[in-house]
Amino acid sequence: MVFHSQAMVHVNGVTNENIDDHLKALFIEEQFSIYKPLTGTHIFVCCHGNRDEGCGFYGNQVYKEFEDKTKSYPDVHVYKSTCLLSHKYAGMLTIFQGPETSKSSNANFKVIGDMYGFITPKVVPQLVKYNVLGGTYYKEFWIGRMNMKPATAPKFANL
């Protein structure tokens, strides 16, 4: 599977034989229209323990809790992934939302990607309430947003 967060497309059927063609179409030629666009909310939880045992331990628990808390919402999809940030935030995840889902007042991009760290299963209900269902971010564990300049993040979060 290939997920292009800016184009909000998910490419199925990627194999070792055709991955170069797909990557060229997505990242060089920007042929997003040939792929079916994704809608809804997509949650990527770092679950591998190869580089950091914390991600393997906390990530798998958080993943299971997200699956449990979101199973009644068909437009919410939860995936296990490798880390999209630094492992120093073990219990790390990114929540992607398309423009039809996000209610963010600062949505300058087609896709919102809010990043969270130090997440435990106890925090998942709050993330579901604020970010997944509310379309905004949950400030307490928020690390930043994709495509947001680091200098902008503290002002945006009122830190």
Q: Give residue-wise pLDDT tens across range 62-92.
A: 999 999 999 999 989 998 887 776 667 778 8
Give the helix/strand (H/E) hosting 4: strand 2-4
Residues near 85 by Cβ (< 8 Å), separated by ≥ 6? 46, 92, 94, 115, 117, 143
Percent with pLDDT over 70 in the chain = 65
Partner residues linked to 96 by β-bridges:
42, 113
- β-bridge pairing 112-116 and 142-145: antiparallel
- β-bridge pairing 41-46 and 76-81: parallel
> In terms of pLDDT, which residue wins out, 60 or 149?
60
Q: Mapped to the 3 state alphabet, what secondary structure does 122-152 carry?
A: HHHHHHHHHHHHCCCCCHHHEEEECCCCCCH
Q: Give residue-wise pLDDT tens across range 108-155.
A: 445 678 889 999 999 999 999 988 888 788 888 988 887 676 666 666
* Model pTM score: 0.75
Question: What's the whole-number mean pLDDT along residues 19-33?
Answer: 72
Residues near 5 by Cβ (< 8 Å), separated by ≥ 6? 96, 111, 113, 146
> In terms of pLDDT, which residue wins out, 103 or 56?
56
Contact 47, 55 (CB under 8 A): yes
Nearest partner of 147 among 30, 8, 25, 43, judged by Cα: 8
